[in-house]
Amino acid sequence: MPGKLKAKIVAGRHLPVMDRASDLTDAFVEVKFGNTTFKTDVCPKSLNPQWNSEWFKFEVDDEDLQDEPLQITVLDHDTYSANDAIGKVYIDIDPLLYSEAASVISGWFPIYDTIHGIRGEINILVKVELFNDLNRFRQSSCGVKFFCTTAIPRCYRAAMVHGFVEELVVNEDPEYQWIDRIRTPRASNEARQRLISLMSGELQRKIGLKVLEMGGNAVVGYLQCFDLEGESGLVVRAIGTACTLDKLSSGSAPNTNTHIHPNTAPASNACNSPSKDGKESPLAHGCRSTHNSPVHSACSSQRLSQNFSVSVPTLIFTGMGSGGSAGKEAGPLKTLLRQQTQTALEQREFPFFTLTSFPAGFLVHVGGVVSARSVKLLDRIHNPALGNTRSYKLLDWNSVTADEPETRDAWWEEIRQEIKSHAKALGCHAVVGYSESTSICEEVCILSASGTAAILNPRYMREGCLDIGSTDHRFEEPSPPSCGFCHIPYDEFNMPFPAQLTYCYHCRRQKVPDVLFTTIDLPPEASVTGKGCLIQARLCRLKKKAQGEVNATAISNLLPFMEYELHTQLMNKLKLRSMNALFCLHIQISVGENMLLGLASATGVYLTALPAPGGIQIAGKTPGDLSNEHHILTIQKRINDTIAKNKELYQINPPELTEETVGSPIPEPRQRHRLLRSHSESSDELSELDLSHGKKDAFVLEIDDTDALEDIHSLLTDASPPTGFYSCNTEIMPGIFNWTSGVQMFTSVRVLRLSNANLTNQGLNKTFTDLCENLLKSFYFKLRSMIPCCLCHLKFTVAVPEEELIQVTVTAVAMTFDKDQSQEKLTEKPTTKGSTETEEQLQFPLELSTDLSTNMQTSNKISGTVSLLTPAAKLYQNQLIMVHSAGVPESTTVSPRAASVDYGSFADRCSTWLELLKMKAHTIRRGSVKTISSLDRSSPLPEGRSRSLRSNRSFGGSSVPVVKMTPVSFLPGTRIIKYLGIINMFFIRETTSLREEGGISGFLHSFIAEVFAMVRAHVAALGGNAVVSYSMKECVLMENPNKNQAQCLINVSGDAVICVRETDQEPPSVANIGQTCCSSADGAT
């Protein structure tokens, strides 16, 4: 019996009125875990009950602890009739199971009801006492940490990256069981929420077991998804990257979280760290198959009999154009390297990594994007445990035979094999930035997987050490890190596809392709010219309505064309922006009854190492036609103007290279790549206009029909973001380094109903493009107060919920940056260096004061000296000041409430970095002691006003701790000091009074707000103050306006963290930080 779970119900507030007669409520609480239930006393006639219950104790297996949520139900006692449920709270206690994570869950949780939404709040305390269990055959995997972040978490060091882990579990969907016809919608929703919570827990536990088997202790880049297959069931699947992580003492944290300057980044041989310690990671584990599911011998026959399967030939691409230039051989080294790595990786079934950014030196070369799609017909998941009775009960997982998830397993295995072989064809042994997704419509399901073929440094796989340049000099990189990853991994004489190679523009030693597409984040050490931008390709394709196999065939026939067109669009748009590489490429193809939607998003950049892109040329089919000629010229002019404008906008001014230094043979005249529409040469008359694009091969577009014309128009309609805005779907914007602390995460959903008139491919394309563009325009408008800012990690998800509906869901974060310094590349991690942002912040103006006069004097002195320095030297000066002030005795008096002191809020109010510096000096002198001040002069608010606000604030009881959320893996200007565990929540909301709730928009608006609130509450209860790597993975909306009904399912995930201002000193001891942050919430951000 390895664990004791304890829960205490403290109080409730803002409860709804349940008794109309008295306008009050007689509330009590049921606390349930597994099959054990406890009850509190009834607190009569109160909307703010104080239960102060005893500790309810559950003695349970750790297996249950992992699978089951703690279920808290608030009810209204009724003497004569059945008690009415007010709502529930599900608490995932997984975060309490890691030794270093949260020690207690304590706080106010919204009481949630699937019909009424949030109905008041309840204050709960939860603790777990774990007993060590050394049983080798145990089923639990307590202690394995999970991270949604697709990078090595900031306060850890990867001792070893083990590789790919995956698992899936299936069940019947309670919504589609016969009993659903007789039970209330509430009961059905709750059954579903609970089931998915259980399945997620089980999935996580199983993956944890695999990780333990491999010798790891963590899963990074954990991606869990639901497939709501309707009648055929419910699939919960997850993939991730198993790692062995070591916690860094915060002193050495900068090692992992600094952005390394391209030129000073330590190459693999930069430093000889003495960390060749005796840590021999169990190699045997590392080399084991990562795939534990049984071999599916029966799969092919099964597939023939039950499933329809079509695998779509996948396009692999990195560069366009044709090669043919001979290169200097850097061969032997590369071959050696490859061999070494391969031995490490090839024993794995799937050398996949869900990570998108890597420790320096990990990524050696990048080949290009590999993807695979497969169309499947869903069939009822064969589930013997349920048998014929089909009665609903939550499954006893041990009794479910292992073979029913097999069909799904086999499907995914097929796809992964395909990916693997694609990677091989690119001369790569690994796939990074790997992800999987599905799109389901009725019984058709498209499975997709994509990633980036890459060659990795074998050191990280073999040895228990990721320290840069530890010992192995045999594999010393011949190329600098700022361009190394661009060098081709494949054999240039035996290329997998036609590509035009040149010598690297950065190191001149190795070959690079002319264009590079990847699914990973831009490596921090990569050298980039100018800024990046979001590039999207959008496409609609109509298809006939059909059933079964006919439908599946039709879809799979359409897929290659869609991929082709999406890529053409991407390539054109990339060239139009004068860029040569795409990062974070994500292509989603969504299936509906009568159409397919394709949306490709990526962030375009100009990699300094790659050649400048050629321009775009327009060619007419019939060069003789004069009127046509004129038309073409105007279009050409527009395109050239756009390119020139974009170059300026994104500050793309690559250093001019003299001819001799380039040294590489210029490829023969005009080459067209295989995506070209026609074979005609571009007409010579255009050469004049062409000059601006230099000698490079231009991308020729031929106007031979309206179709092409339409394409060109759509190319030009993409509006660039308004002044002061940038957008990207990578973590951060390439080319912006000085982020300030303003952060606004948002989710936006739009559904468009198509009228029949639009139902042509052309019309649909335009509609869809407009939809996406308008969304972006809306964001820019709404967030205009944050200028200058960048929309980061823009994630678009498309769906076709009904025949004539298109749904686009976007989650992103707007982050402010300091415009004045945006041109500079700073060597340090972006920090809060004085900010000019004007947007409001969720930060309570910190009050400091005491002996202000003396402190200000000192700081004035400091500022006096500093002001003479050039901006580049500021950072060092900062450090000097810190060192200096460390000697001041005061600074040693660290109060336990240090975490609540928020220097950042000063920064937000400072208008110049000097002021910040002063204040830094001031606060550092004071140590972490909470001080009070009258620094109102730096406040943007008029004095009188801010004072009156402050006085107002003193009433109103305890205020709610602020929790920031971001889809990015960090918060600018802060340092993550602790990961508290994964947040993975699933909610259903239903209404039978749609009109009264403000229609479908009102319904969804409040639901999304409620989901945010519940995420924040859980994070705050864990003692955290932020969620990083947040994502909304599912937002399924169904409505029936005629019946005044709607239902929505939302699944969100992220990592709960504690972060402190970068300028803060060491936080107080780990044990009490949770409470500190929580209780002194108004001090923390």
| Beta-bridge mates of residue 113 | 117
Helix residue ranges per DSSP H, 602-701: 626-649, 659-662, 687-690
Residue nearer to other proteins on the CB measure, 296 or 750: 750
CB of 53 to other proteins, least distance (A): 21
Closest CA to 120 of 954, 1047, 1017: 1017
Question: Which residues within the stretch 696-725 sit at the binding site for other proteins (CB under 8 A)?
Answer: 719, 722, 725
CB of 782 to other proteins, least distance (A): 6
Residue nearer to other proteins on the CB measure, 679 or 937: 937
Instruction: Name the one range near other proteins by CB under 8 A: 148-156, 327-335, 476-484, 946-954.
Output: 946-954
CA distances from 555 to 403, 550, 599, 1067 (A): 29, 9, 16, 56
3-state secondary structure of 247: strand
CB of 579 to other proteins, least distance (A): 22
Instruction: Name the one range near other proteins by CB under 8 A: 273-281, 354-362, 405-413, 1011-1019.
Output: 1011-1019
Per rule CB under 8 A, is residue 941 in the interface with other proteins? yes
Residue nearer to other proteins on the CB measure, 767 or 938: 767
Q: What is the dihedral of CA 467, 469, 471, 476, to 10 degrees?
A: 140
Q: CA 941 from chain center: how many Å?
A: 36
CB of 905 to other proteins, least distance (A): 11
Residue nearer to other proteins on the CB measure, 165 or 1017: 1017
Per rule CB under 8 A, is residue 937 in the interface with other proteins? no
Amino acid at 239: I
As a whole number of angstroms, the distance between CA 1072 and CA 1081 comes to 14
- Decide: 7 and 71 in contact? Cβ < 8 Å: no
Kindly tell me which residue out of 549, 553, 844, 880 binds other proteins, with binding defined by CB under 8 A.
Answer: 844
Residue nearer to other proteins on the CB measure, 114 or 608: 114
Place of tokens 């049983």: 135
Amino acid at 843: Q
Per rule CB under 8 A, is residue 782 in the interface with other proteins? yes
Residue nearer to other proteins on the CB measure, 13 or 508: 13
Per rule CB under 8 A, is residue 1038 in the interface with other proteins? no
As a whole number of angstroms, the distance between CA 1070 and CA 652 comes to 46
- Decide: 570 and 602 in contact? Cβ < 8 Å: yes
The token duo for 630 is 């004129």
As a whole number of angstroms, the distance between CA 240 and CA 667 comes to 42
CB of 19 to other proteins, least distance (A): 20
Kindly tell me which residue out of 317, 780, 970, 979 binds other proteins, with binding defined by CB under 8 A.
Answer: 780
Residue nearer to other proteins on the CB measure, 393 or 995: 995
CB of 813 to other proteins, least distance (A): 9
Instruction: Name the one range near other proteins by CB under 8 A: 185-193, 435-443, 468-476, 779-787.
Output: 779-787
Kindly tell me which residue out of 60, 75, 118, 535 binds other proteins, with binding defined by CB under 8 A.
Answer: 118
Per rule CB under 8 A, is residue 841 in the interface with other proteins? yes
Residue nearer to other proteins on the CB measure, 116 or 261: 116
Closest CA to 907 of 932, 884, 881, 935: 935
Per rule CB under 8 A, is residue 746 in the interface with other proteins? yes
CB of 80 to other proteins, least distance (A): 30
As a whole number of angstroms, the distance between CA 491 and CA 508 comes to 17
CB of 1000 to other proteins, least distance (A): 5
Kindly tell me which residue out of 842, 888, 1038, 1070 binds other proteins, with binding defined by CB under 8 A.
Answer: 842
Per rule CB under 8 A, is residue 932 in the interface with other proteins? no
Kindly tell me which residue out of 595, 1013, 1050, 1057 binds other proteins, with binding defined by CB under 8 A.
Answer: 1013
Question: Which residues within the stretch 369-398 sit at the binding site for other proteins (CB under 8 A)?
Answer: none
What counts of helices (H) and strands (E) characterise the chain? 22, 32
For 601, the enclosing helix (H) or strand (E) is: strand 595-607
Kindly tell me which residue out of 953, 993, 995, 1066 binds other proteins, with binding defined by CB under 8 A.
Answer: 953
Q: What is the 3-state secondary structure (H, E, C) of 274-328?
A: CCCCCCCCCHHHHHCCCCCCCCCCCHHHHHHHHCCEEEECCCCECCCCCCCCCCC
CB-based contacts of 1009, cutoff 8 Å, min separation 6: none
Q: How many residues bind other proteins (CB under 8 A)?
A: 70
As a whole number of angstroms, the distance between CA 235 and CA 409 comes to 11
Q: CA 594 from chain center: how many Å?
A: 31
Kindly tell me which residue out of 853, 952, 1042, 1043 binds other proteins, with binding defined by CB under 8 A.
Answer: 952
CB of 995 to other proteins, least distance (A): 14
The interface mask with other proteins, positions 2-21, x = CB under 8 A, is -----------xx-------
Residue nearer to other proteins on the CB measure, 748 or 761: 748
Per rule CB under 8 A, is residue 765 in the interface with other proteins? no
Kindly tell me which residue out of 79, 955, 1042, 1043 binds other proteins, with binding defined by CB under 8 A.
Answer: 955
As a whole number of angstroms, the distance between CA 451 and CA 354 comes to 8
3-state secondary structure of 968: coil
Per rule CB under 8 A, is residue 790 in the interface with other proteins? no
Per rule CB under 8 A, is residue 755 in the interface with other proteins? yes
Kindly tell me which residue out of 754, 800, 924, 988 binds other proteins, with binding defined by CB under 8 A.
Answer: 754
Per rule CB under 8 A, is residue 275 in the interface with other proteins? no
CB of 911 to other proteins, least distance (A): 18
Phi, psi of 469, rounded to the nearest 5 degrees: 60, 45
Kindly tell me which residue out of 749, 799, 848, 1052 binds other proteins, with binding defined by CB under 8 A.
Answer: 749
Residue nearer to other proteins on the CB measure, 11 or 929: 11
Kindly tell me which residue out of 440, 1012, 1034, 1063 binds other proteins, with binding defined by CB under 8 A.
Answer: 1012
CA distances from 447 to 164, 418, 435, 809, 890 (A): 18, 12, 11, 20, 61
Per rule CB under 8 A, is residue 943 in the interface with other proteins? no
As a whole number of angstroms, the distance between CA 1017 and CA 1031 comes to 17
3-state secondary structure of 1003: helix
Per rule CB under 8 A, is residue 477 in the interface with other proteins? no
- Decide: 859 and 921 in contact? Cβ < 8 Å: yes
Query: Could you write out the DSSP letters of every residue in 1019-1043?
Result: HHHTT-SEEEEEEEEEEEEEEEGGG
| Beta-bridge mates of residue 28 | 75
As a whole number of angstroms, the distance between CA 203 and CA 397 comes to 11
Per rule CB under 8 A, is residue 110 in the interface with other proteins? yes
Per rule CB under 8 A, is residue 1006 in the interface with other proteins? yes
Residue nearer to other proteins on the CB measure, 889 or 944: 944
Kindly tell me which residue out of 751, 899, 910, 1057 binds other proteins, with binding defined by CB under 8 A.
Answer: 751
Instruction: Name the one range near other proteins by CB under 8 A: 199-207, 497-505, 508-516, 744-752.
Output: 744-752
Per rule CB under 8 A, is residue 1002 in the interface with other proteins? yes
Burial class (CB in 10 A: 0-12, 13-18, 19+), 560: middle
Place of tokens 């409001």: 840
Per rule CB under 8 A, is residue 767 in the interface with other proteins? yes
Kindly tell me which residue out of 203, 698, 745, 898 binds other proteins, with binding defined by CB under 8 A.
Answer: 745
Describe the crossing of helices 706-717 and 548-576 by its angle, rounded to 10 degrees: 60
* Residues that bind other proteins in the complex, under the rule CB under 8 A: 13-14, 108, 110, 118, 121, 719, 722, 725, 744-755, 758, 767, 774, 777-784, 805, 807, 840-844, 941, 946, 948-949, 952-953, 955-960, 962-965, 998, 1000-1002, 1004-1006, 1008-1010, 1012-1013, 1016-1017, 1037
